[in-house]
């Protein structure tokens, strides 16, 4: 049964119309953040990966009906201002515009495995970060 499903999936991909490649936004760059770490975006603006609120992504060694999602909490702190917290959710809401930045999840590692259970994972997120015009 599984080989037939895999074959049908591959045929579907081959027959699907080609997708347009998303062009990067002007000034876009990628940053990699480990859970609990921060990076300087520009002129004292600090982006932090604060917390994994939930991670129900489908384990890579299991066939799932639903891909699941991960909810990640971040904060942006600009000089002389309070930090602004925000949540990004894969795949439903992977992008936000906040504090003059567009921030989008590109990847979240590590992938989950069926034996992970409640084990603490060493999360690393790659984000596309684009400054917004004034």
Distance CA 15, CA 9 (A): 10
Residue 60's nearest CA partner among 113, 2, 9, 116 is 113
Give Cα 131 to chain centroid, integer Å. 18
pLDDT tens by residue, the chain, 134 residues = 556 555 444 444 444 444 334 445 567 899 999 999 999 998 889 999 999 999 999 999 999 998 899 999 999 999 888 999 999 999 888 899 998 899 999 999 999 888 877 677 899 999 999 998 75
Distance CA 106, CA 128 (A): 6
Beta strands in the chain (DSSP E): 29-34, 38-42, 45-55, 70-77, 84-90, 95-98, 101-109, 124-131
Say what the pLDDT of residue 2 is.
58
Say what the pLDDT of residue 22 is.
45
The full set of domains in the chain, from first to last, is 23-131 (2.60.98.10)
Sign of CA dihedral 92, 95, 97, 99: positive
Q: Please give the model's pTM, rounded to 2 decimal places.
A: 0.76
Q: Is 60 helix (H, G, I), strand (E, B) or coil?
A: coil
Task: Establish how many alpha carbons lie within 13 A of residue 78's alpha carbon, considering only the half-sphere containing its beta carbon.
Answer: 6
């Amino acid at each position: 049964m599984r080989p037939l499903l895999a074959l049908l999936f591959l045929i579907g991909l081959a027959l699907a119309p080609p997708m347009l490649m998303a062009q990067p936004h002007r000034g876009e760059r990628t940053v990699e953040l480990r859970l609990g770490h921060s990076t300087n975006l520009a002129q004292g603006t600090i982006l932090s990966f604060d917390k994994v609120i939930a991670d129900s992504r489908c384990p890579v060694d299991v066939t799932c009906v639903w891909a699941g999602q991960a909810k990640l909490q971040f904060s942006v702190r600009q000089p002389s201002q309070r930090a602004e917290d925000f949540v990004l959710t894969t795949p439903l809401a992977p992008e936000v515009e906040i504090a003059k930045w567009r921030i989008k999840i590109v990847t979240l590692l590590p992938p989950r495995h069926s034996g992970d259970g409640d084990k603490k994972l060493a999360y690393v997120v790659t984000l596309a970060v684009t400054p917004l015009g004034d």
